[in-house]
Structure 1
């Protein structure tokens, strides 16, 4: 299915996303599986958004951030799954240069926003547990809105420049991407130009939007654990830690899957290993997050019960 020529393809106007073309007999089965996953992501995260905005008991900074995080998860997975579902159903693997650049830009903006928003949520828990007397003063409504806006827009100008850099590269001999979406490493592997500065900027962005937020999250939870350890009763420690455990699980899933995928050797992009790993952080993590936040959270479960009770009447 590859499109190979002897000339430079720097003026190409489309790519070919291989996706799961190596499984021709399973295309419609895979379509059904990922359609169910996508619908559940929309329902689960949509439910979190509804209850955090409509239930009076959940009008706190923690649930304000949780509602924004659920909306972000919908946007994040929608940058990849609808296109993948369309390719599986129609078996049309081509994607225009403009559509590829748009998918690239929006996916990485959402990914960077997710790291920043998780850092904000960790900071919120740090203030609530370590500085409870100042919590309402520090985490006031204006501050919450500013932190959310900063999380959403901080990566936009950098990703605009990154997108321009990547799609200005000359692409040679092939326009085939062995992936389910337009990912940075696979795109740069097709380039016959000098990608050194592109790779440097990728690592710089990773440090800025991945490593630094991770350090902030780690620092917040180290201080939280120290404060929890000082609590006089085991019940008090357990109750305080339960408010943080869900966030830790979500953070572990996101960072764990991302690290495993992006620290793979370059051969993984040739053989397609990274393509399979990417399903975890683009599909399964957004699917599990609503369950993680709701199953052990009594406030969320109560709000869901109240919502269904109203709907049933």
Structure 2
């Protein structure tokens, strides 16, 4: 364990962001701002449709509405701070940093569990259609959402508490555009092996566990599809699942690459690139993917636009 002088313990960090080039910072500000507006508009539209539209009052759209709500909050935890960093030096207090870290992991972990719940919903709808209403009742859907939030809140609290116990001194520049666990604990003037092992264990268990449950649901779905003789029936089921499966691949692909790999200078650079994907692009793409691949959502969006034009 390193010996440190408490006199020099830091009370704030500087987020280094993505680049130091002024022209690129201005371009990235406009680029990220555009995607953030799309993110807000798209996810807010899905949330409103899931609440208001009578044709979307099913368990699938209840879960989808919660996913969009999470995406809206998830990107808002990091993107505004990132855009601020494109314009001027981006300082953040240690307490603010821990708070941002907590909510980032809270919402991210919650989304992972919710995606697994949506996979289970698709399994029940396709493999047990006659029992779908009884199995996926209102109370079951609420329980799945609450389980997602409680799991996210618990796992993120572990990271936040452990990081808050570390002493930070001398180096104050975080090589990231927001406070994530890996780049922050790297600045501690104390041995961080326990923190790194805990991060890999907790994140690994949660991500691989929820991903495995999602894949298990789709294995049963594929087995069911293979029993269907008509190509029309198979394509209908595939169309129903393709949106969710695309989002699962986008989410877990970037998450596992970030939190299950070794921590090094090169990995932190890759993590920063991956973080742009799952904080900026993935939350924006989710409502677009569901809108383009889902006839009911497209119909509901058209109705919403028509009502807005006649208002």
Band of TM-score, shorter chain = over 0.9
The answer for the alignment partner of 1:88 in structure 2 is 86
Q: Is 1:231 the equivalent of 2:224?
A: no
The answer for the alignment partner of 2:291 in structure 1 is 294
Say which of 140, 150, 153 aligns to 1:153: 150
Secondary structure, in 3 states, of the residue corresponding to 1:155? helix
Deviation sequence 1:109-136 (CA, Å, 0-9, x none)? 0110011000000000001111112111
The answer for the alignment partner of 1:18 in structure 2 is 16
TM-score (norm 1): 0.93
Q: Is the 8 A contact 2:159 2:181 kept in 1?
A: no
Q: Is the 8 A contact 2:84 2:90 kept in 1?
A: no
Q: Is the 8 A contact 2:115 2:248 kept in 1?
A: yes
Deviates further, 179-188 or 23-32: 23-32
The answer for the alignment partner of 2:309 in structure 1 is 312
Distance in 2 (CA, whole Å) between partners of 1:115 and 1:258 is 9
List gaps (5 residues or longer) in structure 1: 1-5
Shift of 1:10: 6.7
Q: Is 1:134 the equivalent of 2:131?
A: yes
Deviation sequence 1:23-43 (CA, Å, 0-9, x none)? 223322221111111111000
Distance in 2 (CA, whole Å) between partners of 1:184 and 1:72 is 20
1:208–1:265 Cα change, 3 Å: closer
Distance in 2 (CA, whole Å) between partners of 1:276 and 1:126 is 33
The answer for the alignment partner of 2:63 in structure 1 is 65
The answer for the alignment partner of 2:26 in structure 1 is 28
Say which of 113, 117, 121 aligns to 2:118: 121
Deviates further, 125-134 or 189-198: 189-198
Secondary structure, in 3 states, of the residue corresponding to 1:80? helix
Distance in 1 (CA, whole Å) between partners of 2:188 and 2:91 is 18
1:9–1:269 Cα change, 3 Å: farther
Aligned 1:225-304 pairs, distance under 5 A = 225-262=222-259, 263=261, 266-269=264-267, 272-304=269-301
Q: Is the 8 A contact 1:178 1:269 kept in 2?
A: no
Shift of 1:7: 5.1
Distance in 2 (CA, whole Å) between partners of 1:20 and 1:8 is 31
1:137–1:10 Cα change, 3 Å: farther
Shift of 1:184: 1.0
Deviation sequence 1:139-181 (CA, Å, 0-9, x none)? 0001101111110122213322321111211224301101011
Q: Is the 8 A contact 2:39 2:72 kept in 1?
A: yes
* Count of aligned residue pairs for this structure pair: 306
Shift of 1:269: 4.8
The answer for the alignment partner of 2:38 in structure 1 is 40
Following TM superposition, the consecutive aligned residue runs of length 4 or more in structure 1 with deviations greater than 3 angstroms are: 6-10
Aligned 1:75-224 pairs, distance under 5 A = 75-89=73-87, 91-224=88-221
Secondary structure, in 3 states, of the residue corresponding to 2:167? coil
Deviation sequence 1:244-278 (CA, Å, 0-9, x none)? 010000011111122333326512256x3422231
The answer for the alignment partner of 1:3 in structure 2 is none
Shift of 1:209: 1.8
TM-score (norm 2): 0.94
Distance in 2 (CA, whole Å) between partners of 1:69 and 1:217 is 15
List gaps (5 residues or longer) in structure 2: none
Shift of 1:9: 7.2
Deviation sequence 1:51-88 (CA, Å, 0-9, x none)? 12111111100011001100100011111001111222
Q: Is the 8 A contact 1:84 1:181 kept in 2?
A: yes
Shift of 1:189: 1.3
